[in-house]
Structure 1
């Protein structure tokens, strides 16, 4: 409604100028030729047709057809009456076309309610036809409407309420109207200033009033209202023109090149905490456990201990250890070991398959058979279930992209338990984590981070030249994102230290050249090995899991490990499903919300001298923790990673 208020405010100012201009005239006491005023009315709206696809994420289970509603109409008007017989009318109006649909019942025996809130700014020029003998008049003409609001409110029993925008809404409507009115004169004919109160009624047929480019929703409207008009009985001799609007030429965007020097160029020994994804993903058309999962023999299972997974030492990538995937692929062995150590713990295996609950239950039974036959777990401690979809599923209602990837993620067996020895220590549905130590040779904070604001939106591409004081230049790029990073040791080469000039060159989308400069100082610390802690939290597809799920974990487990003077790196990531711009914003939002939770916990303990480096990389494959070919890799890419450097 803010847009509506701003639009009406602009119309109010414009008509005040028009009324002032029209009042500065001189002449004789004759019937007014020009009238200005305002009107208010009730739009009685009748909907017909079919409405089911509400937007790209919500499709009603049952189509809705009829709707009825009464919404406000308000206009500024001007009339030109050179004779009593004919004239011209113009209304600039706020035009409410909302309604409530007749309730329907979904197949789940759930009542469905839908309210629309379509609103427009309309321009309605009309031909006016009157009579010499009385003040009755008729009018007819076109209607041009600009959509300013397309909200709907959807309610379905057993489902959360949804307030969102209709998709595929037409920006403009071209239709018509016919109507009649009656001028009740409120002033004596001899008065110089004339006032008229005019009740009116009009009809806008469904022609041209199909507000969406999909389906067949149409609107008919009967408008009943009252107009208040003002005229001056004189002949215009001199008319003062209304002041012309000021034309403001928009300034060109001023790009900035920000260069963040590395906090260190040293290697780091990291104690890493890995949340275990409590799901096993199955190959299409197979109910057997995929071969990429590590399956043991009976003798190997007898000797298996979860602590074995906490010992590996390997050089990893700037993001997270490739060894993490090996830890996850031991998920069934970890569950078997934990169930042996906790004989009171029970689990439920929920198998989900688009082929049906029977297929999902067969997948769950494969997992149960492995735990029973290999680890010797009592079968009564393991329940199996089958369904069409997991909870929460990887899906976007109405989406048409990446359906094969989403389908692979929904073909899985979820492991659920109320035992804290198995699950629920981290939050967000993740299993109790595994902790181990890795050597991280090229951490992200050893990179030079370059940021060019609005580069993704306003530049075709950009590159950088890094020039040393001796004149040697290294070229990097082209880049297309707002933020990129270059390892500090790559720039240094064999030099122990150096000062560099960083020159960014790019081209805007309209062909203009852009050039910016900055400087950076680098120092190598190859002999230093810093100590660090790494934690990560994971998210279900899109927004199904929120930071709130991890608040206790971040407050009670992570924040107490951050000491005064520490550096904390928080980096958000997503998988490759979805639009890049949306994924970038989602990763940034999750990282920023994580920082807020940690900052609040530190403030409660009186710790404020902590430096945060928080950013989001979206689906950038150059920084993604994993590939995106396997469902579990995409799940692990939906993450926020927290590095604590003491």
Structure 2
């Protein structure tokens, strides 16, 4: 049965593919009303029921039930296709229904087989339904079959083979069929002799398909074949006309500009920085990399986590240098917390593609530092090795950017069941660090430009910003729907100004697009009130926040948002993966966070909070960190929440 099913699937698939792939020819002649031709097909017959009395002189000791076969079908045909979708078909055919039943075993433990050669002359009138402007058609109708062969061959071990004719056969069978076909025109549009090649499939159910007047043998048939048809057409008299092309209307692009009421050059923020609980190791080395801050015993004795909370010094340059410096003190923070909480214990899980033994070496390096430098009792630190971290970046079957993914999986994860070390909302993340930092060009001081469908319909677009003195600044080209420009860059040394914005672009069809707008910008001195910043870190390619962040957003972040505040939520990704996918992922992350906060604020009765939610994807100009080291890529998989103080 399996082999026959495979053949059936292949035949039907080939026929359907041919039907769907075929194209019609634009006719310059009339369509023939009458078509004549022939067809050939394969009958895929499936037997069911019971057959045991073969004729009056032979009753098989064991009944035959199921069986199958592939037998030929051939017909001569005529089709009537008047104007419209309705028509008629007639096939007069040789219809092969013989085949082989599944073998049985007689009571003498003797294998027995039964093959039949039943066949019919069949008359098949059908109603035809054509699909307009297509070669596809459907048909259905009755069938009248006249038996012309009823031979059988029965074999049983330990007795002579028996050939004969089945008794009690119906001379005439009435049944029905449904099917579909596709007319592929093989002749030219100008030819009056039309030739059509038409693959088709038909289904003949078992209703009425009982070949005999006794027992319960029935046949279900699936037919797949092809017909060759000929018709006579007449030339069409075509009056030539010159059509005036009607240009398609161009999409009316919408250009929106969100400008800040005041441009703050800097803002002091109190940031709750999540502390990633991983130490990443360089390939080929089991020593803690030099980029991590490693202290001497004397320095460790004076180190306190609170020292990292101080305001950012003026010489702290580079993208997110302050935050990265805090993270690179992870071993010192862990040592200080263990020293301050003698009952706390930790587990170090080293992961290495070279095997668990190498992973243990990585974990032992971290343990050695905590024991030797911070004087932590080694019994409070357990180590283990793995091939991959519990939550790896590299996924089974992945083939792209494996070097970057594997660099993120060569690490030691620090976990603990002690609440003094854990994040305040639970989970594997270490307790966050509170730091004071300075935001340069905060997002609420930037002009946000939105043009709908730009990524889909425009090759690129740019913006020219002109002040009241006629001095212009050019920004772009861009390809995305949303871009932002720091207000400070536009103002320069001016305390305020009125600006005209002209967006120009080119559609992918080569059409020019121009939209205009205006903004008024005012420089604002550094605000005395501090803003608040929270961050959420995501695992690789994950879009929804996990349960512990739902609680963190609801119980920690939402209560810190004052009514009347502006909350700017911006999502980011690292550079691993396709750019379009990363843009979508960052937006999903940011909107997921907004939805959780909105529910919490509504429950608290805070209804006057404005959200600005952005997704920057892997945009390196907007990413909070570089993408050189694995920890930077991990920190870029983030949603950052900036709570702007009420002005």
The interval holding the TM-score normalised by the smaller chain is 0.5 to 0.7
Which one of 247, 259, 262 corresponds to residue 260 of structure 2? 262
Please give the per-residue CA displacement for 1:522-576, whole angstroms capped at 9, x wherever unaligned. 1111364552111111111111862533122112221121112111111111111
Within a 5 Å distance, the mapping from 1:285-296 to structure 2 comes to: 285-296=284-295
Please give the per-residue CA displacement for 1:224-267, whole angstroms capped at 9, x wherever unaligned. xxxxxxxxxxxxxxxxxxxxxxxx99864321111000243122
Please give the per-residue CA displacement for 1:337-366, whole angstroms capped at 9, x wherever unaligned. 100001111111111111111111111111
Question: 1:283 Cα shift?
Answer: 0.8
Within a 5 Å distance, the mapping from 1:109-508 to structure 2 comes to: 134=172, 177=201, 180=204, 201-202=221-222, 252-266=250-264, 267-314=266-313, 321-426=320-425, 429-508=428-507
Take 2:623 and 2:336, find their aligned partners in 1: how far apart are those partners?
Answer: 31
Q: TM-score, normalised by structure 2?
A: 0.65
Take 1:521 and 1:543, find their aligned partners in 2: how far apart are those partners?
Answer: 40
What's the counterpart of residue 60 of structure 2?
none
Take 1:315 and 1:177, find their aligned partners in 2: how far apart are those partners?
Answer: 79
Take 2:140 and 2:475, find their aligned partners in 1: how far apart are those partners?
Answer: 66
What's the counterpart of residue 540 of structure 1?
539
- SS of aligned partner of 2:434: strand
Question: 1:287 Cα shift?
Answer: 1.2
Take 1:561 and 1:409, find their aligned partners in 2: how far apart are those partners?
Answer: 33
Take 2:474 and 2:179, find their aligned partners in 1: how far apart are those partners?
Answer: 64
Question: 1:312 Cα shift?
Answer: 3.8
- SS of aligned partner of 1:507: strand
- SS of aligned partner of 1:613: strand
Question: 1:424 Cα shift?
Answer: 2.5
- SS of aligned partner of 1:425: coil
Cα distance change on mapping 1:250 and 1:565 into 2, 3 Å? same
Question: 1:426 Cα shift?
Answer: 4.8
Question: 1:619 Cα shift?
Answer: 0.9
Take 1:503 and 1:531, find their aligned partners in 2: how far apart are those partners?
Answer: 35
Take 2:629 and 2:525, find their aligned partners in 1: how far apart are those partners?
Answer: 36
Aligned length: 463
Take 1:449 and 1:308, find their aligned partners in 2: how far apart are those partners?
Answer: 37
Take 1:600 and 1:574, find their aligned partners in 2: how far apart are those partners?
Answer: 25
The two structures, once aligned, show a CA RMSD in angstroms of 3.7
Query: Is contact 1:310–1:434 with CA below 8 Å preserved after alignment?
Result: yes
What's the counterpart of residue 615 of structure 2?
616
Question: 1:421 Cα shift?
Answer: 0.9
Take 1:506 and 1:316, find their aligned partners in 2: how far apart are those partners?
Answer: 41
Take 1:356 and 1:143, find their aligned partners in 2: how far apart are those partners?
Answer: 60
Cα distance change on mapping 1:184 and 1:141 into 2, 3 Å? closer
Take 1:301 and 1:605, find their aligned partners in 2: how far apart are those partners?
Answer: 44
Long gaps (5+) in structure 1: 1-32, 34-42, 45-76, 94-121, 145-173, 186-197, 206-247
Take 1:499 and 1:305, find their aligned partners in 2: how far apart are those partners?
Answer: 50
What's the counterpart of residue 568 of structure 1?
567
Query: Is contact 1:318–1:442 with CA below 8 Å preserved after alignment?
Result: no
Query: Is contact 2:544–2:589 with CA below 8 Å preserved after alignment?
Result: no
Take 1:204 and 1:372, find their aligned partners in 2: how far apart are those partners?
Answer: 78
Query: Is contact 1:467–1:502 with CA below 8 Å preserved after alignment?
Result: yes
Query: Is contact 1:135–1:182 with CA below 8 Å preserved after alignment?
Result: no
Please give the per-residue CA displacement for 1:600-624, whole angstroms capped at 9, x wherever unaligned. 2222221111111111111111100
Query: Is contact 1:503–1:515 with CA below 8 Å preserved after alignment?
Result: yes
Take 2:631 and 2:178, find their aligned partners in 1: how far apart are those partners?
Answer: 64
Take 1:263 and 1:199, find their aligned partners in 2: how far apart are those partners?
Answer: 81
Query: Is contact 2:543–2:586 with CA below 8 Å preserved after alignment?
Result: no
Query: Is contact 2:352–2:387 with CA below 8 Å preserved after alignment?
Result: yes
What's the counterpart of residue 60 of structure 1?
none
What's the counterpart of residue 637 of structure 2?
638
Take 1:90 and 1:142, find their aligned partners in 2: how far apart are those partners?
Answer: 9
Question: 1:381 Cα shift?
Answer: 0.6
Query: Is contact 1:261–1:520 with CA below 8 Å preserved after alignment?
Result: yes
Query: Is contact 2:454–2:479 with CA below 8 Å preserved after alignment?
Result: yes
Cα distance change on mapping 1:294 and 1:78 into 2, 3 Å? farther
Long gaps (5+) in structure 2: 1-35, 37-45, 48-84, 93-122, 147-171, 183-197, 210-217, 226-245
Cα distance change on mapping 1:351 and 1:80 into 2, 3 Å? same
Take 1:338 and 1:564, find their aligned partners in 2: how far apart are those partners?
Answer: 36
- SS of aligned partner of 1:590: helix
Query: Is contact 1:178–1:204 with CA below 8 Å preserved after alignment?
Result: yes
Take 1:351 and 1:143, find their aligned partners in 2: how far apart are those partners?
Answer: 63
Take 1:444 and 1:299, find their aligned partners in 2: how far apart are those partners?
Answer: 42
Cα distance change on mapping 1:249 and 1:431 into 2, 3 Å? farther
What's the counterpart of residue 235 of structure 2?
none
Please give the per-residue CA displacement for 1:125-165, whole angstroms capped at 9, x wherever unaligned. 78999768556689999978xxxxxxxxxxxxxxxxxxxxx
Asked if residue 80 in structure 1 is aligned to residue 78 in structure 2, the reply is no
Cα distance change on mapping 1:176 and 1:361 into 2, 3 Å? farther
- SS of aligned partner of 2:263: coil
Cα distance change on mapping 1:315 and 1:141 into 2, 3 Å? farther
What's the counterpart of residue 153 of structure 2?
none
Take 1:542 and 1:428, find their aligned partners in 2: how far apart are those partners?
Answer: 19
Q: TM-score, normalised by structure 1?
A: 0.65
Query: Is contact 1:124–1:142 with CA below 8 Å preserved after alignment?
Result: yes
- SS of aligned partner of 1:262: coil
Cα distance change on mapping 1:566 and 1:203 into 2, 3 Å? same
